Amino acid sequence: MFSHETTRGKEEKVARIVIAGNWKMHKTIGESVVFASNLRETLADQADLPEIIVAPPFTALHAVSAVISGSSIALAAQNIHEADRGAFTGEISGLMAKEAGCSHVIIGHSERRTLFGETNERINRKLLTALAAGLNPIFCVGETLPEREENRIEEVIEKQLKEGLNNLDDSVISRILVAYEPVWAIGTGKTASPAQAQEVHDFIRSWTAGKYGKDAAEETVILYGGSVTPQNISALMSQPDINGALVGGASLQVESFVEIVKYKSNQGV
């Protein structure tokens, strides 16, 4: 299935390390403020941490932005519309997310694809809009269980990458974080083994090298998402092409999220 071989060791990782927490439709404004305050306090004066991003619901973006202002914690929206403005009830634009304090936005999450029918073409328009608004996209790709069982992983991932990144200028690829999230592992408690995750991450990096060049590929942040926990983060991060995690359920409690953020201490690094 995978014909290429990874040649880099863990110590040769070039891309920066990022841990992002996607809260999905959880936490009121008050709960979000308490969480953000506790997270900031817990991580204050901690050294050698990854970049940290939190993605609250839309209603809490501005309030959380105020809490984390001046800290090393960044803010992401969970989604945006592809238009800057218009008659789109219930949607928000990239400009609105940016004004609320966001530096990042999650685009193409598997739940947006499966539950809301978002196509690669629409995701591409959202990526273009996000970049134009000054947001750094966390661009999600991943296969379903039937696609994996049919050995179509590379085909599916390549199509999502090719169509999702269509018409993007080479100069902006460094602003895009790619998140590999096997759909069968989202919220199910199932996790791709470190070796399975590494195979797909290596494929994504190889594809990126072919499209944008080796230097761009080496610097591309590729996150793993799919039932990430404090128990499996160290094993995942030991893989050479995994540059961090997009965390769902385990990001909803400060204690478990901090354990993931501080995974290096569990590795003895």
Check whether 32 has a pLDDT greater than 70.
yes
Q: How confident is the model at residue 188 (pLDDT cuts 50, 70, 90)?
A: confident
Q: How confident is the model at residue 192 (pLDDT cuts 50, 70, 90)?
A: confident
For the chain, what are the domain ranges? 10-267
Give the pLDDT of residue 269.
45
Give the pLDDT of residue 120.
98
Tens of pLDDT, residues 127-160: 999 999 999 999 999 999 899 989 999 999 999 9
Q: Which fold has domain 10-267?
A: TIM Barrel (3.20.20)
Mean pLDDT confidence for 162-186: 93
* Longest Cα separation, the chain: 53
Mean pLDDT confidence for 201-216: 97
What stretch of H or E contains 122?
helix 120-132
DSSP codes of every residue in 10-67: GGG--SPPEEEEE--S---HHHHHHHHHHHHHHHTT--SPPEEEEE--GGGHHHHHHH
Rounded Cα distance, 243 and 112, in Å: 23
Identify which has the larger pLDDT, 158 or 8: 158
Mean pLDDT confidence for 251-265: 96
Give the pLDDT of residue 186.
76
In the block, tokens 């996209």 appear at: 137
**pTM exceeds cut of 0.85:** yes
Give the pLDDT of residue 13.
73
Mean pLDDT confidence for 37-50: 94
State the angle between helix axes of 61-68 and 29-43 in degrees (0 to 180), rounded to the nearest 10: 20
Identify which has the larger pLDDT, 226 or 6: 226
Give the pLDDT of residue 268.
52
Residue 239 CA from chain centroid, whole number? 17
Identify which has the larger pLDDT, 164 or 227: 164
Mean pLDDT confidence for 253-265: 95
Check whether 166 has a pLDDT greater than 90.
yes
Active-site amino acid positions? 109, 181
Give the pLDDT of residue 12.
62
Mean pLDDT confidence for 38-58: 96
Check whether 105 has a pLDDT greater than 50.
yes
Check whether 7 has a pLDDT greater than 60.
no
Check whether 266 has a pLDDT greater than 80.
no
Instruction: State the number of CA atoms in the 13 A half-sphere of 21 facing the CB.
Output: 30
Check whether 9 has a pLDDT greater than 80.
no
Residue 45 CA from chain centroid, whole number? 25
Q: What are phi and psi for residue 232, nearest 5 degrees? A: -110, -5
Residue 63 CA from chain centroid, whole number? 22
Q: Which residues pair with 138 in a beta bridge?
A: 106, 177
Mean pLDDT, rounded, of the chain: 93
